[in-house]
Amino acid sequence: MKVYRKDNQLLDIIRQSPELVETIRVCSEIKLPNYYLAGGAITQCIWNYLSERPLLENVKDLDVVYFEPKTHSSSENNYAVIASQRVSHHLPIDIKNQANIHTWYERKFGQRITPYECVEVGIDSWLPAFAVGVRYHKRTMNVYAPFGLEDMFNMIVRPNKRAMSKTNYDLMCDGYSKRWPQLEVIGWDDI
């Protein structure tokens, strides 16, 4: 099955990055609830692999998302501090509780969103190439990819209009295209 092979290929590439593996392991060890190492950290690592670059080149931070209802944003900071102290690498770890995203999303991105009921619903709102999360479950790395892995492996960026404006999409795509000129960007109005 095609997706199964892509899952294996994704995990094989991730295993080549000690920083990613260590971050996933530490998140499991500190019992970060319902977490994933996700988004840009995964996608950009794959794009670097496909571009024959160092795996973490142009990766600004490691995005970790989790879901813990009824907690304050200070919990995010506590988890980030603990995780950063436990890893041996020096990449920033950006930890976000998807249960709280709706409280600040409109201020940052200009679009109102409804509260998410689980971490996966948050990931479902991302650009398809970035809607990929990896975590340990019972000592095995598991992948969550609601749109599959084809866009990521084919270096295609397409909009997901659920939680993003055209302006933000265009800005993000400009930045990605500068770092990975071979990307195929699907226009906002082409979907």
More confident residue, 44 or 107: 44
Q: Tell me, what's the pLDDT at 111?
A: 82
Q: Tell me, what's the pLDDT at 1?
A: 28
Q: Tell me, what's the pLDDT at 138?
A: 84
Range name among 33-42, 65-74, 149-158 with the lowest pLDDT average: 65-74
Domain total in the chain: 1
Alpha-carbon distances, residue 133 vs 90, 177, 182 (angstroms): 21, 22, 23
Those residues with Cβ within 8 angstroms of residue 109's Cβ, 6 or more apart along the chain or in another chain: 163, 164, 165, 168
Mean pLDDT of 55-59: 95
State the residue range of the domain holding 101. Answer: 2-190
Mean pLDDT of 166-188: 96
Mean pLDDT of 51-79: 88
How many CB atoms within 10 Å of residue 164? 19
Alpha-carbon distances, residue 148 vs 19, 92, 144 (angstroms): 24, 27, 9
Mean pLDDT of 79-98: 92
CA distance 35 to 143: 11
CA distance 90 to 2: 35
Q: Percent of the chain scored above 90 by pLDDT?
A: 75
pLDDT band at residue 77 under the 50/70/90 scheme:
confident
Alpha-carbon dihedral sign for residues 177, 172, 3, 32? positive
Alpha-helical (H) ranges within 15-157 are: 18-29, 40-50, 74-86, 105-109, 119-124, 150-153
pTM of the entire predicted model? 0.91
CA distance 40 to 174: 15
